[in-house]
Amino acid sequence: MILLIGATGFLGKPVLEKLLKKSFKVSCLIRTSSSTLELEDTAKKTGGEVDFSTGTLQSPDSIITPLKKAEIAIYMVDLEHANLLENFIKASERAGLKRAVFISSTTVLIPLESKVKTKKIISENLIKNSGLDYTILRPSMIYGSKDDNNFSSMIDFIKKRRFFITFGSGNNLIQPIYIEDVASAIVSTLNNKKTFKQIYNISGKNPLKYNDMLEIVRHKLKKQFKSIKVPSGLGKFLISIYAGISRNPALTPDQIDRTGIDKVYSYRKASNDFNFSPTSFEEGIEKLIKELK
């Protein structure tokens, strides 16, 4: 039995779908505040069956029984919450779980200090010292479903407003990863002993300039839109005012700092160990645009 933790999130549905298509027995840990409807629909689509256990990482006792039934756990809760991870590790020891796959992020590699980066590094170290047969996957920015806050929000914005704002020159490199490739990577590592106690960066097929990414979106959307460039310094100033007055800001000044940095990550180790072969941005964004229609 595979236990999915974080199944109701953005990444959860494609992971569940891939596991069921490969005939794995799957159970999802669900908080009482969350709905299982979309996961049930996903299971129906594949003709597979999924089991649900109620529990929360806030209470280690609540996850002991589902962990006892599992041979492998897939942990998709943000590693920023090191306290939840500690609860998971302690509960796994008590339940006798040996193997878990964790989803971290290439944020830990960005050459800029931030609270998020520090917390995720602390969590990765907790995993490394846990005694589990772990695999840590570090995806770059994930896109490719209506639930993503990255490209689907961008496409939605462009469709409605016919313009898009870029902070900085747009000459920085990015390498976003298509969501199905993250799900495939998770499934490929599960029983692959080469991946035990290893960390892998996983990213899109090729790095591309932010400006070139915008051109691909323009071409695939078949819509003209204005690309407005705002210098980073001015952008940071404006976003700090906006973040100061908004209750739930969609952008923070830290994010403007990060926009100018090249985010290029080699996935060679993943290709060698579990044949990771990601989708190109052209192909991935075309699939996303079709899904959003």
- Chain residues binding ligand NAP by CB under 6 A are 5-12, 29, 31, 33-34, 56-58, 76-79, 84, 103, 105, 139, 141-142, 150
Strands (E), 106-265: 133-139, 142-143, 163-167, 173-174, 177-178, 198-202, 208-209, 226-230
CB of 6 to ligand NAP, least distance (A): 4
C-alpha span between 96 and 131 (Å, rounded): 11
Task: Between 23 and 32, name the residue whose CB sits nearer to ligand NAP.
Answer: 32
Nearer to ligand NAP, 173 or 230 (CB): 173
**Least distance (Å) from ligand NAP to the CB of residue 169?**
23
DSSP 168: S
Nearest alpha-carbon partner for 227 in 153, 164, 141: 164
Q: How far is the CB of 84 from ligand NAP (least distance, A)?
A: 5
CB of 154 to ligand NAP, least distance (A): 13
Which residue shows structure tokens 């204005």?
A: 226
C-beta nearest to ligand NAP: residue: 9
**Helix or strand or coil: residue 186?**
helix
Instruction: For ligand NAP, give the closer residue by CB, 16 or 158.
Output: 16
Q: How far is the CB of 59 from ligand NAP (least distance, A)?
A: 9
Distance CA 185, CA 169 (A): 33
Residue number with CB closer to ligand NAP (20 or 202): 202
Q: Which is nearer to ligand NAP, 33 or 224 (CB)?
A: 33
**50-54 and 72-75: which strand pairing?**
unpaired
Quote the least distance from Cβ 52 to ligand NAP, whole Å.
Answer: 12
Distance CA 126, CA 161 (A): 45
Residue nearer to ligand NAP on the CB measure, 117 or 236: 117
Distance of closest approach, residue 255 Cβ to ligand NAP, in angstroms = 13
Report the C-alpha dihedral over residues 9, 13, 19, 21, rounded to 10 degrees. Answer: 180
Q: Measured from the CB atom, is 238 or 249 closer to ligand NAP? A: 249
> Is residue 117 within 8 Å of residue 107, measured between CB atoms?
yes
Q: What angle do CA 126, 129, 131 make, to 5 degrees?
A: 120
Residue 31: what are its φ and ψ, rounded to 5°?
Answer: -80, 155
